[in-house]
């Protein structure tokens, strides 16, 4: 008789590995599947993770390459202002090392990691879920429940009868050799990153990740970004190698069904302000593991038994996601003049102290709500929102 795992987790990214570690620790036989030969390969990500995530999830610190101490914002006019929160807000990791460490932790907890396995077919039966690499796969994998943690792009959730993310944007980024790196740099304006933002994130002396988020034509905007007068003269890499990846901008409608949960970016558990997905994905992955632990105790992996997962994660992050989306939609309508005025506002002492009081790297709702009620800000965005 073929082995029946309690849990098969598809995708050894941060969400899948954390979920596997926790289900294995709970005593469930767990198989973690990764399509590449090793976790963390071919990932397009800046690797910024808030300091809170390191504390709350006890994340590994060895993969940290640099810390995000100060941010310089560049307005469309070329003016800039430097924000110094007085403490490190976040850290920048090597995703290769981060993902491999987490997958290692899952193995240490008892999960089996199988690399080079690309799950393409998923079938939910009455007593198990079956996974195959192809139709005539002689060696299907069977598990009592499956966690889809593939990031964006697989259609496994759809095969289980769930809808995929509806809206996406694109992240375009390259790692480059670059001079005069000090702060994280954020570039705003319709000519640089219409409707979103662009960044330079130092990794180590002389090396940075340069990229942007755009709803369309991201490669075109990326090429223009490299010509920006504050960036072009400092780049030493002759032909930066751009990677392009889609990122969902809202969560999927439903993240569970009989014997199946969807976690992380595959479920659209991504910050709607910045498109950062590592922390929210991992938080939700921990909730998925807890629901699976309880389902295993009652030997019931029905949709009804798995529903608490969705209740848990929506109550944790869905208000944040909604508020962030509203802000993005407002920001997308602002002209360069309005963005200039906003950046100017950011230099005011009362605004800086408000930001210092309310801003948290991963939780933006309080700051957004309070800011939108400020008469000075309403004045600037009038015409964009109201
Ligand atoms: C340019 C860019 C910059 C970004 N910067 C940041 C940032 O600074 N901070 C941040 O928090 N987020 C950032 N993000 C988003 C972040 O990368 C993702 O949200 C995050 O990686 C999601 O984690 P995950 O575990 O859900 O999925 P992933 O990290 O995508 O991991 C999924 C894993 O599943 C594997 N897999 C996929 N399909 C299959 C299959 N069918 N069978 C087996 N294995 C499979 C993949 O190989 C991968 O290892 C960025 C995104 C982009 C595009």
User: Can you name the residues that pair with 210 across neighbouring β-strands?
Assistant: 174, 200
Model pLDDT, residue 385: 45
The model's pLDDT over 233-284, given as tens digits with 9 standing for 90+, comes to 999 999 999 999 999 999 999 999 999 999 999 999 999 988 999 999 999 9
Ligand 1 centroid–CA 265 distance in Å is 7
Q: Read off the pLDDT of residues 309-320 as tens digits, 9 standing for 90 and up.
A: 999 999 999 999
Residue nearest to atom 53 of ligand 1 (CA): 171
DSSP β-ladder status, 90-93 and 64-68: antiparallel
- Encode pLDDT of 337-350 as tens digits: 999 988 888 888 88
Segment among 101-105, 137-141, 336-340, 380-384 with least mean pLDDT:
380-384
Question: Rounded to an integer, what distance in angstroms lies between the CA atom of residue 35 and that of residue 41?
Answer: 10
Q: Do domains 4-43+95-166+248-322 and 64-92+168-247 have the same CATH topology?
A: no
Residues with CB under 6 A from ligand 1: 10-16, 33-36, 39, 43-49, 117-119, 149-151, 154, 171, 173, 211, 245, 247, 264-266, 270, 275-279, 281
Q: What are the domain boundaries of the chain? A: 4-43+95-166+248-322, 64-92+168-247, 326-381
Percent of the residues in the chain that have a pLDDT greater than 90, as a whole number: 78
Tell me the best of 9, 39, 277, 282 to mutate to test the pocket of ligand 1, counting ligand atoms within 8 Å of each CB and taking the most: 277
Q: How far is the CA of 195 from the centre of ligand 1 (A)?
A: 22
Determine the pLDDT at residue 247.
Answer: 94
CB atoms within 10 A of CB 41: 14
99: CA distance to ligand 1 center in Å?
10
The stretches of 234-301 forming alpha helices (DSSP H) are: 278-297
Residue 264: DSSP 8-state: G
> Measured between alpha carbons, how far is 367 from 144 in angstroms, rounded to an integer?
43
Report the distance separating Cα 26 and Cα 40, nearest Å: 25
Q: What would the pLDDT profile of 114-153 be if each residue is shown by its tens digit?
A: 999 999 999 999 999 999 999 999 999 999 999 999 999 9
The Cα angle at residue 301 between residues 298 and 307, in degrees rounded to 5: 100
What gap in Å lies between CA 290 and CA 296, rounded to an integer? 10
Topology of domain 4-43+95-166+248-322, CATH:
FAD/NAD(P)-binding domain (3.50.50)
Q: In this structure, what DSSP letter does residue 235 have?
A: B
- Which of 33, 46, 282, 362 has most ligand 1 atoms within 8 Å of its beta carbon, as the pocket-test mutant? 46
Q: What is the pLDDT of residues 195-228, one digit of tens each?
A: 899 999 999 999 999 999 999 999 999 999 999 9
Determine the pLDDT at residue 1: 56
Assigned fold of 64-92+168-247: D-Amino Acid Oxidase; Chain A, domain 2 (3.30.9)
Does residue 384 surpass a pLDDT of 60? no
Q: How far is the CA of 44 from the centre of ligand 1 (A)?
A: 7
């Amino acid at each position: 008789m073929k082995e029946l795992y309690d849990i098969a987790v598809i995708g050894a990214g941060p969400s899948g590995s954390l979920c596997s570690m926790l289900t294995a620790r709970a005593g469930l036989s767990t198989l973690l599947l990764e399509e590449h030969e090793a976790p963390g390969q071919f990932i397009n990500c800046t690797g910024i993770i808030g300091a809170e995530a390191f504390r709350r999830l006890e994340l590994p610190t060895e993969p940290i390459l640099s810390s995000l101490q100060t941010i310089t914002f560049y307005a469309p006019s070329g003016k800039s202002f430097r924000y110094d929160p007085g403490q490190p807000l976040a850290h920048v990791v090597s995703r290769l090392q981060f993902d491999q460490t987490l997958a290692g932790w899952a193995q240490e907890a008892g999960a089996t990691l199988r690399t080079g396995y690309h799950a393409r077919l998923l079938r939910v039966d009455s007593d198990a879920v079956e996974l195959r690499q192809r139709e005539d796969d002689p060696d299907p994998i069977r598990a009592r429940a499956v966690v889809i943690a593939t990031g964006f792009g697989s259609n496994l959730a759809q095969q289980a009868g769930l809808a995929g993310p509806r809206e996406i944007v694109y992240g375009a980024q390259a790692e480059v050799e670059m001079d005069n790196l000090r702060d994280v740099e954020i570039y705003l304006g319709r000519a640089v990153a219409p409707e979103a933002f662009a960044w330079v994130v130092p990794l180590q002396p002389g090396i940075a990740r340069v990229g942007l988020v755009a709803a369309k034509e991201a490669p075109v905007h990326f090429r223009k970004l490299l010509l920006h007068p504050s960036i072009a003269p400092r780049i030493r890499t002759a032909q930066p190698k751009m990677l392009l990846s889609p990122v969902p901008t809202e969560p999927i409608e439903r993240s569970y069904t009989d014997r199946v949960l969807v976690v992380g970016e595959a479920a659209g558990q991504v910050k709607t302000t910045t498109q950062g997905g590592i922390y929210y994905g991992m938080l939700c992955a921990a909730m998925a593991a807890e629901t699976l632990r309880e389902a295993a105790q009652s030997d019931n992996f029905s949709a009804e038994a798995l529903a608490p997962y969705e209740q848990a994660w929506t109550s944790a992050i869905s208000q944040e996601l909604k508020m962030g989306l509203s802000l993005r939609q407002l920001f997308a309508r602002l002209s360069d003049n309005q963005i200039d005025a906003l950046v100017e506002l950011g230099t005011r002492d009362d605004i800086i102290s408000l930001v210092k009081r309310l801003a948290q790297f991963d939780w933006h709702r309080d700051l957004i709500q309070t800011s939108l009620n400020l008469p000075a800000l309403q004045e600037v965005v009038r015409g964009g929102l109201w």
